[in-house]
Amino acid sequence: MTVRTTRQRAVTALTATMCALLVAGLAACGSDGDSAGAEGGDGDVSLRIAWSGSDERNTRTQDALDLYMEQNPNVDISVEYTTATNFWDRLTTQVAGGNAPDIIQMSGQVLSQYATSDVLLDLGPYVDDGTIDIEGWEEEPLEAQTIDGTLYGIPPGLDGHALVYDATKLQELGIEPPSETWTWSEFADLAREIAAAGGEGYYGTEDGGPQYEVLQSFLNQRGKQLFDGNELGFEAADVEELWQFWGDLREDGAAVPADLQTAQGANPENSGVVQGYAAMDFTTSSQYTNFVGLSPGEVGMATYPFGDDGAPGQVWRAGMAWSVTRTSANADEAAKLIDFLVNDSEAGALLQTTRGVPASPTIREEVLGTVDETEQRSFEHLETVQAHDAQVTPVLPTGFGDFNDLYQRLYYEYAFGRMTLEDAVGQLMSEAPGLLG
């Protein structure tokens, strides 16, 4: 009997311990989501803000947010930042779980998807009542965040399509760098000239074929658009002409071959200009400082080539925007914070060009005075692009990501010689419409 009681007691004790552990575990799980906001007294506001990007963007944004919290002691901001790869998976999951952050760094590539899925809040009222001040801003970047008359985001920064080139190499080869209003023919000649002078294994340019930005400029030069609402804005003949252009350059060894090209990925560090096997690459002005920082030699920045008839077809963008989610409990405070991030002088000084050239003209002017020569080039480049009757990338349709994947995949099918030009373009034209809208 005594033995049994002892065992019984032991069992009871163990049971209690397990209960305690279990309860503690569950409690820990439950409190995970709102730890930042739980503390503090009445009137306190907690905001969650999420973005992706480089370390420098992270530190500088954190500094700006710290400043805001200093100025507004009642506001408590918790930040969530990740690399670009993980950002959207995480955000999608959070939205699906009803746990979205208050403020999101939206991307133009998925804005439609999020806006039409009723995830984002109409920021129009905050602009109307002056919470977010867009006095004196260019209109186009804001239009690029507007769907059916509803403003879904405030762009923090701008950039322009740009072509970067290895200036040291060109000098070495005794070749003149491109002019501001050069054309695709001049570009092709230059690429061939460089390849001929550069010797075995050196190419004039990275292949612009798989990049939709190149198609976009190319179409603009023909008075067309990538998209007309949710429909394609181009015909098979347009793409065939463009892909043929790149196919010829590849054949002549002027553009990098397909297997080199696919290895490069999307990052400047993998670009032929940085790696030293190609003289030119297509990018945006906001990447320019990265190219400069990564390259052993000097890097120059030029415009995308003009059409052979002189049509500029230049493009600038507000590629990202601060958006507020509909589920935000503190939307008013979120709008105030966005205004601070895009319009406050001190914030501007901290954030600098980590999201492109500041969208607010006032802040742009202020920041321009404080940055180094390399950064100033991206300001100048934006002005150059704007001066040439440029277009702002409009709102991209839902399904743009799928379109872009398809476009690249079919280009490579063609580039690897696994499909003929006609077949690849034919498949693009038949499959792409189903992906949009």
Partner 1 sequence: MSVATRDRVESPPERPRRAGGRRFRISENVAGYLFLSPWLVGLFVIVIGPMIASLYLSFTEYNPLTSPSWIGLDNYVRLFTDDPRYIASLKVTLIYVVVSVPLQLAFALLLAMVLDKGLRGLSFYRSVYYLPSLLGSSVAIAILWRRVFSGDGLVNSFLGAFGIEGRSWISEPATAVYTLVALSVWTFGAPMVIFLAGLRQIPDMYYEAASVDGAGRVRRFFSITVPLLTPVIFFNLILQMIGAFQAFTPAFVVSDGTGGPVDSTLFYTLYLYQEGFASFRMGYASAMAWVLFVVIALFTALNFAASKYWVFYGDER
What is the binding site for partner 1 (CB under 8 A)? 4, 7-8, 11-12, 14-15, 18-19, 21-22, 25-26, 85, 88-89, 92-93, 95-96, 113-114, 117-119, 258-263, 265-266, 399, 401-402, 405, 408-409, 412-413, 416, 418
Minimum Å gap between C-beta 207 and partner 1 is 12
Residue 240 and residue 385: Cα distance in Å, rounded? 27
Nearer of residues 349 and 435 to partner 1, judged by Cβ: 435
In which residue are the tokens 């190499």 written?
169
CB of 402 to partner 1, least distance (A): 5
Closest CB to partner 1 among residues 96, 237: 96
Give 300's strand partners: 165
For 272, 405, 422, the CA distances from 431, given in Å and listed in that order, are 31, 12, 14
Using DSSP bridges, classify how beta strands 75-82 and 45-52 pair: parallel, antiparallel or unpaired: parallel
Q: How far is the CB of 74 from partner 1 (least distance, A)?
A: 31
Least distance from partner 1 to the Cβ atom of residue 411, Å: 9
Strand 203-205 with 278-284, pairing: parallel
Q: Which is nearer to partner 1, 10 or 387 (CB)?
A: 10
Nearest to 206 by CA among 123, 263, 150: 263
Least separation, in Å, of the C-beta of 95 and partner 1? 5
DSSP assignment of 168-226 equals HHHHHHT-PPP-TT-BHHHHHHHHHHHHHHH-TT-EEE---TT-HHHHHHHHHTTT--S
> Considering the complex, what minimum distance in angstroms separates the CB of residue 9 from partner 1?
11
CB distance 151 to 288 below 8 Å: no
For partner 1, which is the closer residue by CB, 145 or 261? 261
Residue 310 CB, nearest distance to partner 1 (Å)?
A: 36
The nearer residue to partner 1, 67 or 435, going by C-beta atoms, is: 435
Q: Looking at beta carbons only, is 94 or 217 nearer to partner 1?
A: 94
Please give the full DSSP string across 388-423, using - where no structure is assigned.
Answer: TT-EE--PPPTTHHHHHHHHHHHHHHHHTTSS-HHH
Nearer to partner 1, 51 or 114 (CB): 114
HSE-CB for 102 with a 13 A CA cutoff? 23
Least Å distance between CB 3 and partner 1?
Answer: 12
Tokens 């600038």 belong to: 316
Label the pairing between strands 150-151 and 146-147.
Answer: antiparallel
Whole-number Cα distances in Å, 5 to 1, 11, 15: 6, 10, 15
Complex with partner 1: residue 133 or 413, whichever CB lies closer: 413
Q: How many CA atoms lie within 13 A of 256 on its CB side?
A: 25
Q: Which is nearer to partner 1, 54 or 416 (CB)?
A: 416
- Given the complex with partner 1, which of 65 and 324 has the nearer CB atom? 324
Tell me the closest approach of the beta carbon of residue 53 to partner 1, in angstroms: 17
Of the pair 145, 398, the CB lying nearest partner 1 is at 398
Q: How far is the CB of 413 from partner 1 (least distance, A)?
A: 5
Give all strands (DSSP E) within 66-196, no chain letters: 75-82, 103-107, 146-147, 150-151, 157-166
With residue 57 as reference, give the H or E element that holds it.
helix 55-71
- Residue 397: φ, ψ to 5°: -70, 160
Separation between Cα atoms, residue 178 and residue 187, nearest integer Å: 8
Q: How far is the CB of 93 from partner 1 (least distance, A)?
A: 7
Classify 74 as helix, strand or coil.
coil
